Structure 1
Amino acid sequence: MKIVVVEDEAPIRNGMSKLLEKINPEYELAGTAENGLQGLELIERVTPDLVIMDIHMPDMDGLTMLAKVREKGMNCKAIVLSAYSDFSYAKIAIELGIENYLLKPIKIPELKRALEQVERTLIEQQSKEEFFTLENIFYRSATGQFKSDRQTDITLEEHFRIAPDEEITVLLVKLSGCYAVYHDTVRSLLEETGIHKGTFSSCLLELEERESVIMLLYKTDDKEELRQYFQKAVMPMLCGQVKGSITAVWQSCEGLAGVNPALAKMRETLEWNLVLGRETLISETRIGQTEPVPVKYPVDIETQARQAIVSNNKAEFEACTKRLKEYFLAAVHAPKEIKEACTRYCMAVYHTAKEAGKVSEDISTQDIMNKITRAYTWEQIGEAYRQFFEGLRFHREEEATSLMVQRAAQLIQEYYNQGITLEEIARKLCVSEEYLSAQFKKETGRTFTETIRGYRIERVKELLLQTTLKLNQIADLAGYTDPKYMSKVFRDEVGVTPAEYRKLNN
């Protein structure tokens, strides 16, 4: 607390310095004066928090000095020290807004209580002033802490000329993943816009926990013209300065109590960035100008992605993700439909990876699905896909190929007697027939047809020796539709007919 002492008696004036330090070492004696004229000049120069003053002084008395201080709009606190108990003096002093009236000789406990009371009053006043700063009021309105009541409405109108039903325009700038780098840049640019444009009043807020810079605009003339100005002039500057992810939304509301609900609605519309792009100022007007068409799910891109997973081709998988984005941007779709299709795409790839034995235990499909659902930029969707791909267990090329061939061999063993074809197995493994055939021959040394024939011949041998079934029954169980063709193949492979084989081995 900064204090000035105006007292014509030198012993009191000099003693007050030591007394103040004794009462509280943090008190700052900013200066002393021996009369009202010097005191007035000193008060104007150092602007103290408190003036301790006498009444009767040469050149100018204390009450006259205090009256002139008040005329100049200075609201410093005042404690009067006087040897006179005349009520007329006290009455004038009270009218001039003093804090206390102490009679000489000064008693230290009384002075201490008076000083402590002034200090408490100053702290309360400072807290109230800080509470009613425009930035604090707007911050509370943005975070849902603002409550409109009669006293608040009066204060807003008196101090800031903001009516209870004042229309507020909210600009939300979302800096996902790059807030720490660019929030100062965005704030400076918006501040300059407010100064340069000069057709509105504004307040800027920074919400670090939401990676957002918020501009609240009021006292605007033509709101639609202002929106177009921000779209044409401000958005290109913002996007040029911010190299990371940026999304901007524009919306109006009535009164400060409407700011928080407006922001909640704006956060829901952030997803339109997927459709409109980073340089578009998203607004109800702009969304209303779109004509979304239903999403036709890109089955071909999904198939290519599944093949990339099976063949261990990370570059192709990433290319598929890029093609998916290009496909959705080729027409205007509702963002929710886009994200639903992206989720379906991811789940299809996941099931293929799981069937191929490539799913890591620590991969969380729920986490990835949630990220896609909450995404409002393509970077966020791409990050979800990258997280998914990195969670898969990939092997060296020869190991990955062996895994595919092993799975093909398992399918042959399981379905050879049901007439399974190379085309069916390739489709199950999401690879081409040519690729599967070549890799199968390379790994096993036998063609697909030779492997199928081997399983069937072994089955025919087993049935010939362990049953009394007729040849047409054996052919059906071994996967042959024609018993004569079975006999021909058997003779070519074994050297004797099925009947001769049964006779020789029984």
Structure 2
Amino acid sequence: MSSSASGSITGRNAGWPWKAKPAGTRASPCGCRCGLRMEGRNDMRTLLIVDDERNIRLGLKAMIDRECADRYETLTAESGREALDIIRARKTDVLITDIRMPEMDGFALIREAAEAGHRPAVIILSGYDDFAYAREAIQYGVKEYLLKPIVREELYRALDRVEEALRRAEQTEELRQQAERYRTDMAASVFAYLLVGDSADEAVVMQRAEAAGLTELLRPDYAVGVLKTAGDPLGRAKAEDWLKQRAAEGMRAIWTVDRDGLLVFASPDPGLAEMLAGELARICEPPVYVGLSEREDSAARLPERYRQAKRALKRSLVMPPVRSAVLTASPACGAFAADVPMDEVRKLANMLGTGRDQEMAALAGRLFELPESPDGGVAYIEALSRALNEQVFDQVFRTFGEESVEVLKLHRRVGSLDHYASLADYRRDVEELLLLLSDYIRSLRSAHAEHKEMRAAVAYIRENYWKDLNMAMAANHVSLNYAYFGQLFKEYTGESFVSYLRRVRIEKAKELLVHTDAKVYEIAERVGFDNVKHFNRVFKEHEGITALEYRQRHAVFAPDAAGEGSAGRM
């Protein structure tokens, strides 16, 4: 290879090892003559140089590192086989390779890399200006074809064109991914809508399903599955990750999360439910259950198949504990009726707050005794759950208001059987909620009784405000401890006993100032003040003006109305 041309590679540039330079040796910023403009990119591309001639290999590396050090991490390989190992081990963005090499030539390298799923942008090096090589290079999708000896400016221009092509490809791929995400999100939204929709108008349902691509996705037929991972709070997220991975590999499926927090999926793949349950049984805390509907060929009947899958899933409540199971629906699934003893349920509601907790627990236990049934008692448990929600729990909150956050959380959990892995877990929470609500009702009734005493105390003050009244007298009147009375009184009225008594006396004084011609000192005595100066000071603190000024502004008394004196008389 000639070294006379100023733009050619020479041996004096050889010296870097085949792997990338240490981070501290990179030029920063790069005075890149190759025209690579990569503003906003934090990552570097990987560029691999393959040539069996050491001087060419390392000379190319030095040339690229000198001009584009912060654009490329440059690697080298002396053979096609070594290069293929590198490409398989890490993502390679740009490949610069000689054509003629022993063991594996450049075209074989490109072909085997492509077969392994790796397609870097390729620049071919050749010492021959041969049309046959150029034609074969086009066949393999080669971006650039450079003749040896390599001229620097030609190399930089080739890299510039490759970079522009990579950018366009990345932008196109990003747009494709955005469109795919939009399509997927739209399909998932329509899927979620159709699950709970009314399937009576099948034409409307089919129109929506077709517009979202669901009919094509679920062709020729499909089943709906509902996943419950009650033993693992992260189970649903793990399931979604697994489904995304399988979908990226070509599996056809659509999924969403329903209002009970369960993962719902539909797929034409008959083995998906078993694969999902098996994978989650391996990585999740047990149990893992999947309720699976019958197969269906019409997207219009998605709601029906969804309900069928949920009914099948409820069999997990009454079955022996297992690590995982797929519970398949049958045509008779959900066809069984069950009678719940509603008198007993109402009796349970009436016991709340009475202190008969043991009797209440025994009654709840009897309600959970499953009757003989072809479905194992599932229909009875569903009916009992509805009765407890409507006749007991919801009724308490409607009547007495909301309790603490902890009780509300338990109430919401008990509200759906889908939150439970077993009937025993559901029964435990029902019994706990009954006791909490019973305590809650007792406390409210106790508070109501205390309010009754406070109302009596307030009435006593308003009837006796003009007397030499104090808090001890009011506490004795309602038979409460002095300190406890003071605490309850402030909680009930929002102010202390003394403050409340003064406010009542001033209110009565204002009435007398407006509607009588009594003198101020007389009014002070009538409302319980033994000192007119004290009365005037308290009045001004409350009203911002003196008693006389208040009368002058508001007096309506006239001699004809009162039968004596004059309105302005003091």
Q: TM-score, normalised by structure 1?
A: 0.48
Q: TM-score, normalised by structure 2?
A: 0.44
1 or 2, which has the higher helix percentage? 1
